[in-house]
Structure 1
Amino acid sequence: MVNDNHTLKAALLIGLYAVIIGYTDNHVRVIANEIGLWQFHLMRTAMAAVALALAAPILGLRLRPVNARAVAARSAVHGVAMMCYFGALGFLPVPQVSAGLFTAPIFVLLISRFVYGAQIGPVRMIAVGLGFAGVLMILGPQVMNIGPAAAVPVLGGALYALGNIALREWCPQESATTMTAGFFAAMGVFGLIGMGLTAAFNMPFEAGYLLRGPAWPSGTALWWIAVQAVGSLVAVGLMVRGYQLTEPSRASIFEYVALPAAALWGWVLFGEAPLAREWLGMGLIWLAGLLIVLRGR
């Protein structure tokens, strides 16, 4: 359920979301060696559903939606946003696709102001600009190879922004658990569709992570899919709750932290030390978050 603005609490929850997601996403490379993207989403959703079914009665979590249509609409919007992101990976460099998705805070400002009439002050606009500049610095020069295809991940960013605004505007009475379950259900449906298409066209293993057909994963891959399922379940729940605690135009800026968190985990786990420009980009993102927290207080 949506509360009044609690910016610092939202920052902490979304920051923790970024730390968890950064860790789990760094291990997708292990999973990608054995199965394709669509099978991963379907299997992750199945494991997350089992975890939710076991945890809900023990923890007293509410899964039943108050407004099923609103939850389904929001889940579909977020699911399509993620499909724009993953689909663009098939024909665009990863930095450019990531930059497209990270336009979401800009779209949150625009949609909040011009669709829902929210008052957006200069501090928030400066923070969004600083955060996005930090993202571009971390992702590097490949981001500048802009062409018509770049519209796909930007569309994903716009839909992702709309989905986050929908948490307060469409689904004000829903629990974080309900919204998290809806997100995973949408990803599972898209995973099932993708698996059906790759199986129908008999896509070989060599087609790569994005187009690979069904395959039998090893125990190691199954373990990391399970870690992904539980970790993502907790992380997405934290992110949803963060958006429920403050205005979307504030919360979206904290999501920029996901990129430096992933980079730092890559350094800790695999020795992939960030470059000087990446450290500077991280600094800009932290500064953007600090501005919003101080302004929120």
Structure 2
Amino acid sequence: MSPTQDRTLAAAGMILIYALVIGFTDNYVRVIAAEAGLWQFHATRSVMAVGLLALLAWPLGLRLRPRRFGAVLARSAIHGFAMLIYFGALAFLPVAQVAAGLFTAPIFVLLISRFAYGMRIGPVRIAAVAMGFVGVILVLGPSALNGASVAAVLPVAAGALYAMGNIATRQWCAGESAETLLAGFFAMLGLLGFAGMGVLYLLPLEVPAGADGFVQRGFVWPSGTFWFWTAVQAAGSLFAVGAMIKAYQVAEASRVSVFEYMILPASALWGWLLWSEVLTPLAVTGMALIAGAGVLIALRAGRG
């Protein structure tokens, strides 16, 4: 086996770890949503995550200070809003369905690159975009297409914002370290969380009980369950994203991005094991089409 194959297999293993950890932790957002709010969750998780990063910075030699503060701030804001939408949708929808919406990002990256930066798109990648669009329709299902489920459309909006953030990573933040971008991402989510709690304190809304009130709910005195699963989210996110970053460091990016689609079956597996969720055949077909579109786009990178 060649060294290149060794590195690719190692990257695949790291992405598998990333997918399994994120798929597991994200399935428990619904538990957090039952008693606390989206804004308090992000504020608390970010304080925990940034605190862990700060503790690890010196022994691991991490560089957290950005070279271009404005570029990192803008990129963090775009990704931060994407994750607000993503986690908000997790309170109402299966993780695999929300992840499928987020993984439309490569399709949006391609479209933005074409119309904003004039990049040429060949027939294979045009077909990939069409395939991904059909996949989105199938995953959303008839209720979303009839306008009955705004929540079902939100993951695709998160995917569009996530795509903008990915473009910003390449265009604005090429010289930044992975840990700098990670720290900026969590810090921005924390600021958005505290801002949301402040707004809801000044302008409180009527809050439905349980997970239905996740977005409208301001500060509450949480139980040990909230603290435990938020801490699991913070530690799991850092560990999983660290594994993903390492994968991109040891193997070619176009190959690694294909492996990232393991998060779709991993999320569906955890949803089935933990909550007995079974996706409809249409949703499974849609997820397969979205993953196929992403794989095609990744494999054609640089070839038009």
TM-score, normalised by the number of residues in structure 2: 0.76
Contact 1:24 1:228 in 2 (8 A): yes
1:142 offset after TM fit, Å? 2.1
The change in CA–CA distance for 1:205 and 1:146 in structure 2 (over 3 A counts) is closer
Instruction: Tell me what 1:142 maps to.
Output: 143
Aligned to 2:4: none
SS in 2 for 1:272: coil
Q: Are the structure 2 counterparts of residues 85 and 269 from structure 1 closer, same or farther at C-alpha, using a change threshold of 3 Å?
A: closer
Residue in 1 that maps onto 2:3: none
Residue of structure 2 in register with 1:3 after alignment: none
Q: Distance in 1 between matches of 2:80 and 2:108?
A: 17
Q: 2:137 touches 2:145 (CA, 8 Å); kept in 1?
A: no
Equivalent pairs: percent with the same residue?
58
Change (3 A) 1:23 1:130: farther
Q: CA deviation at 1:193?
A: 0.6
After superposition, residues 196-215 of structure 1 pair within 5 angstroms as 196-203=198-205, 206=208, 208-215=213-220
Q: How big is the shift at 1:180?
A: 1.0
Q: Secondary structure at the match of 1:180?
A: helix
Deviations 1:227-247 (CA, angstroms, capped at 9, x unpaired): 111122233445567778767
CA deviations over 1:127-156 (Å, ceiling 9, x no partner): 343344334333422231249x79977655
**Counterpart residue type for residue 167 of structure 1:** T
Distance in structure 1 (CA, Å) of the matches to 2:146 and 2:168: 32
How far apart are residue 204 of structure 1 and its match? 6.3
Identify which range, 112-121 or 184-193, moves more after superposition.
112-121
- Structure 1 residue 188: deviation in Å? 0.6
Query: Residues 159-238 of structure 1 correspond to what in structure 2 (within 5 A)?
Result: 159-203=161-205, 206=208, 208-237=213-242
Structure 2 residue aligned with 1:158: 160
Of 153-162 and 176-185, the range deviating more from structure 2: 153-162
Q: CA deviation at 1:117?
A: 3.7
Aligned length: 288
Preserved CA contact (<8 Å) 1:26 1:266: yes
Mapped partners of 2:134, 2:16: distance in 1? 19
Q: CA RMSD in A?
A: 3.8
Q: What is the aligned counterpart of 2:267 among 255, 259, 262?
A: 262
User: Does the Cα contact within 8 Å between 1:84 and 1:152 map onto a contact in 2?
Assistant: yes
Residue 105 of structure 1 corresponds to which residue in structure 2?
Answer: 106
Counterpart residue type for residue 240 of structure 2: A
Name the SS for the 1:187 alignment partner.
helix
What stretches of structure 1 of length at least 5 have no aligned partner?
A: 1-5
- C-alpha displacement of 1:263: 2.0
Q: Deviation of residue 78 (structure 1)?
A: 1.8
Q: Which amino acid aligns with 2:227?
A: L
* Change over 3 Å in CA distance of 1:276–1:254 after alignment to 2: same
The amino acid across from 2:269 in the alignment is L
Trace 1:1-297 onto structure 2 (pairs within 5 A): 16-83=17-84, 103-146=104-147, 156-203=158-205, 206=208, 208-237=213-242, 258-291=263-296, 295=300
Indicate if the aligned counterparts of 1:105 and 1:253 stay in contact, CA closer than 8 A: no
Q: Is the 1:133–1:284 Cα contact (8 Å) retained in structure 2?
A: yes
Does structure 2 retain, via aligned residues, the 8 Å contact 1:44–1:226?
A: yes
The 1-side partners of 2:274 and 2:261 are apart by: 21
Report deviation, 1:63: 1.0
> Which amino acid in structure 1 is aligned with residue 190 of structure 2?
G
| Contact 2:72/2:184 (8 A) holds in 1 | yes
The normalised TM-score by structure 1 is 0.78
Alpha-carbon shift at residue 33 of structure 1 (Å):
1.5
Which shows bigger deviation, 53-62 or 21-30?
53-62
Q: Please list the CA deviations of residues 176-223 of structure 1 after superposition, one character each: whole Å capped at 9, or x if unmatched.
A: 111111111111111001111222234566461111121122222211
The one-letter code sitting in structure 1 at the alignment partner of 2:70 is: R
How far did residue 48 of structure 1 move?
0.3
Going from structure 1 to structure 2, the CA distance change for 1:130 and 1:12 (only over 3 Å counts) comes to: farther
- 1:90-119 deviation digits (Å, cap 9, x = unpaired): 9xx859987875553332112222333434
Q: What CA distance in whole angstroms lies between the structure 1 residues aligned with 2:135 and 2:176?
A: 33
